[in-house]
């Protein structure tokens, strides 16, 4: 199983226990930018789209990254480097 530090720069799914922005869903598919002792920095197209709408603009000069405290994360989903098999699919 990869350690969180090994997921930097990769796509992960994060389930938030408290929504960062009211209009967003609780699950984000996001790039893990950095990790700190209290949480993670993420780049999320979904949150960026929400920020653009709130700012009533079509673009920002820089891509925003968001800090998510560990206290607001229920789980983080990644993938391992081996196949995932369905027992039912193989009749087990």
| pLDDT for position 59 | 84
Question: Under a CB-based contact definition with an 8 Å cutoff, are residues 88 and 33 in contact?
Answer: no
Domains (range + CATH), the chain = 4-78 (2.30.30.100)
Rounded CA gap, 51 and 30, in Å? 15
Rounded CA gap, 63 and 59, in Å? 9
Contacts of 3 (CB under 8 A, 6+ apart): none
| pLDDT for position 20 | 55
| pLDDT for position 24 | 53
Q: Which of the four pLDDT bands, split at 50, 70 and 90, describes residue 8?
A: very high
The DSSP output letter for 89 is: G
Contacts of 88 (CB under 8 A, 6+ apart): none
The pTM score is 0.76
| pLDDT for position 16 | 86
Q: Higher confidence at residue 59 or residue 2?
A: 59
15-73 pLDDT, tens digit per residue, is 988 765 555 568 888 999 999 999 999 998 888 888 888 888 888 888 889 999 999 99
């Amino acid at each position: 199983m990869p350690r969180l530090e090994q997921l930097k720069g990769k796509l992960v799914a994060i389930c938030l226990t408290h929504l960062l922005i009211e209009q967003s869903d609780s699950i984000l598919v996001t790039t893990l930018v950095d990790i700190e002792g209290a949480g993670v920095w993420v780049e999320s197209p979904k949150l960026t789209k929400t920020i653009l709408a709130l700012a009533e603009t079509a673009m920002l000069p820089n891509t925003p990254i968001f800090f998510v405290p560990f206290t607001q994360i229920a789980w983080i989903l990644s993938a391992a480097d081996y196949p995932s098999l369905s027992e039912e699919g193989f009749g087990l």
